[in-house]
Structure formats: C-alpha cells, structure tokens
Chain A
Amino acid sequence: SQKIEQNSEALNIQEGKTATLTCNYTNYSPAYLQWYRQDPGRGPVFLLLIRENEKEKRKERLKVTFDTTLKQSLFHITASQPADSATYLCALDMPQNDMRFGAGTRLTVKP
C-alpha cells in the first residue's frame, strides 16, 4: 500500500532562514501532489499543487519540487517568519481517486 512519509514530526528554524520540508512516498506514483498548511484546531488550507510533469512550482516565498525518480517532494519557505509556524501536510492523489495525507511536519520559526 502507499506510504507517505514527511521527514520529521517537528522542525525548528531561525527567522529569516529557509525551511525545507520533505515528503516521500512509496509504490504508486501520483499524478498530482499538494501541500497544505494547518494551524492548531483549524482545517488545512491549500498552498500549492504540482503535477508529475512539473519539476518546480513557486508562489511568493514558497517553492515546491517534485522528483518522480526519487519519489519525493520538497517544500521550501524562504525568508521564514514566525507567522509561518504551523503544521504542513503533503497530499497525494490515489488510484481510487481520493487524496491521502502525510502526517505533517510541525514547523516552528523562532524570532
């Protein structure tokens, strides 16, 4: 079965640095991969979608890469700010036409 692994449960970085979060998957290669942000007690909020034929996608300070050979997506936040502190989830489309989520990485940006 498909496994989705996000590199670490928690990541602490200093304000201004670049945060890099990892999403690895096994078996089935998704056609799409999405990243969401979730704040405590709230529902996830969509950030970026990247397709299998796209290597990289950018949106303001966010950058996502998708390497189908490595079965990995990297999510970068440049010039990080304390307001970026949240849990970030990756999600993959599945053969049965639904989305499956990773457990998330809790990012803390310290001032």
Chain B
Amino acid sequence: GAVVSQHPSWVICKSGTSVKIECRSLDFQATTMFWYRQFPKQSLMLMATSNEGSKATYEQGVEKDKFLINHASLTLSTLTVTSAHPEDSSFYICSASPGGNYNSPLHFGNGTRLTVT
C-alpha cells in the first residue's frame, strides 16, 4: 500500500530556532501534499497545501513566512517552522494521495511532535 514517511518523529528545539520537517511519499508520486497541525484532543487543522513545482496554498490565519513549505520533487515536501516559539509546539502531520485528486483516500505520515522550549 501507499506509504508516507515523515521525519523526524519528534524534535525539541529552543525558542527562536528553525526546524525542518520532511514528508516523503515512498512508493508513489504526489504532486500535492497536505500539512496539518493537531493540538491535544482536537481535530486535524489544515495548514497548507503543498504543490510540486509551485507555491504552497496556505489556509487563512497561517503565516506563510513562518511556516515555509517547499515541494521540490514529486516525492518530497518540507515544512520549516521558522523562529519557533513555545506556542508553535504541536503535532504536525503530512498527507498525500496516490489517487492524485482531493477526494481520494489520504495516506498520512506518522507525525512530528514539536516541542519548543
């Protein structure tokens, strides 16, 4: 089955530093990947849609200069949290669909737990 790999699974960083999270589709090509943030006992909140070869589309209220997304190849998207602050601490998850359209089942990475101290 389709596999999405996310790395790292957890990271602790100091306030003011930047953290990069990778999302890879291992056995399929993904022109589109999605990035979510999830707080404890809350739903997945879509942050942005990552498009291969073009700019990401950000959801309302998500700062594009703070959450930099790069989708340089058909199998890799990266999310960089710049100048991280404690309030950025959260569970970040990516997803992609082998079907290629938005209504196909999504395959998720196992998430990255970010803790900013």
Measured CA separation A49–B99 after assembly (Å): 13
B106 interface residue, CB < 8 Å from A?
Answer: yes
Dominant secondary structure at the B interface:
strand
B contact residues, total (Cβ < 8 Å): 22
Name the one of B43, B95, B102 contacting A102, with C-beta atoms under 8 angstroms: B43
B75 interface residue, CB < 8 Å from A?
Answer: no
- Does B43 lie within 8 Å of A42, measured CB to CB? no
Of the stretches A12-20, A55-63, A68-76, A92-100, the one at the interface is A92-100
Question: Are A45 and B108 CB-contacts (below 8 A) given A31-B103, A93-B103?
Answer: yes
- Does B46 lie within 8 Å of A98, measured CB to CB? yes
Name the one of A32, A41, A101 contacting B103, with C-beta atoms under 8 angstroms: A32
Measured CA separation A18–B77 after assembly (Å): 40
Question: Are A46 and B111 CB-contacts (below 8 A) given A9-B41, A101-B43, A101-B44?
Answer: no
Question: Are A43 and B105 CB-contacts (below 8 A) given A9-B41, A103-B42, A104-B43?
Answer: no
Q: A residues within 8 Å of B by Cβ?
A: 4, 9, 31-32, 34, 36, 41-46, 49, 89, 91, 93, 97-104
Q: B residues within 8 Å of A by Cβ?
A: 4, 6, 34, 41-44, 46, 49, 91, 93, 95, 102-103, 105-111, 113
